[in-house]
Amino acid sequence: MKTLLLECFQKRRASSIAILLVLGAALLTFWPGILMSDTSSRWAAVLTLKGVLDIRWSLNQWLAPTMTIFMLPFGASANSITLFTAAQLAYLALAGLMWISLTSSERPFWVPLLFALPIMSLYAAFIVPDVWTLAAMIVVIAILSLDTQRLGILSLLLFFLSNIILFGFRQNSLFLLPFVTFLVIKKVSECRWERHILLALMALAISLIAIVPKHIGFMAQTSSAAAPTWELVGMLRIANELHVPVDPKVTLEGIADTNSAINSHSFTTIDSLLWGEGAAVSTGLILSHSDELKSRWFKAVRAYPRLYFLMKLRTYKCMLGLCDQYLQTQVIPLVPEPFLEGRVLGYVGNDGLGRIILDMNAVLAHRAELLFLPLFWLPVSILVFLSQWRLYSAFDRLLIYGAGIYLLSFCILNQAASFRYMLPVFAIYTAYQIRFIGWLSGFLINKLRRSDGHPRKPPPS
């Protein structure tokens, strides 16, 4: 690992320094870090586990508790948010350096350029699990791409921690487990026992994710019924639109008002169903009727496969960006919730460079929304990959495959089409689009030089 990073600064010094400067600027610009409602809930759990506050509901496993556990070492000090944001950016920087080192591009300025984009600069300092997932995906695939080097203790430790982050911060990442396992098994190494050590570390990481939360104070209740409930109401909504009668046993009868749930349901966000005053299916109902809701969803899928198919088609349509009110592309810094009693600070974005970047992102989200829609960047990315595939290193290709698998995970059991859920895929695919633009520019410049009688130079990638 040390050798890899040393070579990165020796051979690709400009790009390496650039990404450190870009991410360092994000930390300074959005000091102490951008919060959202989920972040406040996580810090409530941290403060409760530390004995500073007593907010018992925060210990329900509505949010994946692994990220909250990672916050625990930062404690309840006044600098806790700043330190955690710095750790997030440091981990992202490490992933960026590994990306720069292992890509086939000779001048990978497109990696720091990606994080210089307004939306990526904002997300770099946005305390959400998706940023950590992006970094972990890059780090894990990078380590498994080091075919000719024996992994040292530092690399093994980083692989172990990155597995906890990758599979523990976002449940969708579990779809990457077979992919990562395959890479470990296929890994060629001088040490025959290395792949067995890697598999053991993966198994230990998964075990800790499953076991540790309940042993440190988190309750057994989880949000595992939220997505099935959202899909169930979506099926009932389509049945209502098509005037198809359904068995009352697969409605919300006895739990919540079915008509109210149908009226508040949206195929672009789960929030309208679960959150807000008078929510049709509140989080409390989800937690207290979890098993029953999942049972009714399963019965509905079995009894009405056509409704399930139509519901999925509508969901995929919205995921691509073909529905109104699609994607939460604007990052809105939130003031910490009152229940935190002023013990947590966050970036408010009233003025300065941060305000300018927030405004720039808002303008782009409004006037150039197409750039953020999978309807645009997914087919463009596929065309770029097809045209550039032979130029990519093994790491580039594996990273593209990994991002694709992560994207497909949202087609199985999803909770609507929020942009930040797709951030890891958007970031990776957009980076290779930027790389292609650089390659194409170099190609055209060289073609013009050749037509003017200048010797031809190979275009950089």
Mean predicted confidence (pLDDT) in 381-397: 96
Which run of H or E residues covers position 223? none
Q: What percent of the chain has pLDDT over 70?
A: 93
Q: Are the CB atoms for 202 and 180 separated by under 8 Å?
A: yes
Mean predicted confidence (pLDDT) in 44-66: 89
Task: Return the structure tokens found at 326.
Answer: 């699609």
Distance, in Å, from the CA atom of 68 to the CA atom of 39, rounded to the nearest integer, reads 9
Distance, in Å, from the CA atom of 318 to the CA atom of 322, rounded to the nearest integer, reads 5
Rg (CA), the chain: 23
10 has pLDDT over 90: no
**Domain boundaries along the sequence of the chain:** 2-220+345-408+419-441, 226-320
Q: Are the CB atoms for 69 and 216 separated by under 8 Å?
A: yes
What is residue 365's predicted lDDT score, i.e. its pLDDT? 80
Listed residue (235, 220, 409) closest to 311, CA to CA:
235
Q: Are the CB atoms for 310 and 231 separated by under 8 Å?
A: no
Higher pLDDT, 112 or 172: 112
What is residue 138's predicted lDDT score, i.e. its pLDDT? 98
b or e along 247-267 (b: 16 or more beta carbons within 10 Å of the residue's beta carbon)? eeebbbeebbebeebbebbbb
Helix, strand or coil, per DSSP, at residue 61: strand
Mean predicted confidence (pLDDT) in 296-316: 93
Q: Are the CB atoms for 407 and 421 separated by under 8 Å?
A: no
Residue 454: band (very low, low, confident or very high) from pLDDT cuts 50, 70, 90: low
Identify residue 298 by its one-letter amino acid code.
Answer: F
> What's the pLDDT tens digit per position in 366-375?
788 788 888 8
Helix, strand or coil, per DSSP, at residue 177: helix
Residue 6: band (very low, low, confident or very high) from pLDDT cuts 50, 70, 90: confident
461 has pLDDT over 70: no
Residue 287: band (very low, low, confident or very high) from pLDDT cuts 50, 70, 90: confident
87 has pLDDT over 80: yes
Provide the mean pLDDT of the chain.
89
Helix, strand or coil, per DSSP, at residue 416: strand
Higher pLDDT, 353 or 321: 353
Lowest-confidence region among 89-98, 216-225, 237-246:
216-225
Per the DSSP assignment, residues forming a β-bridge with 416 are: 269
Lowest-confidence region among 86-100, 354-368, 385-399:
354-368
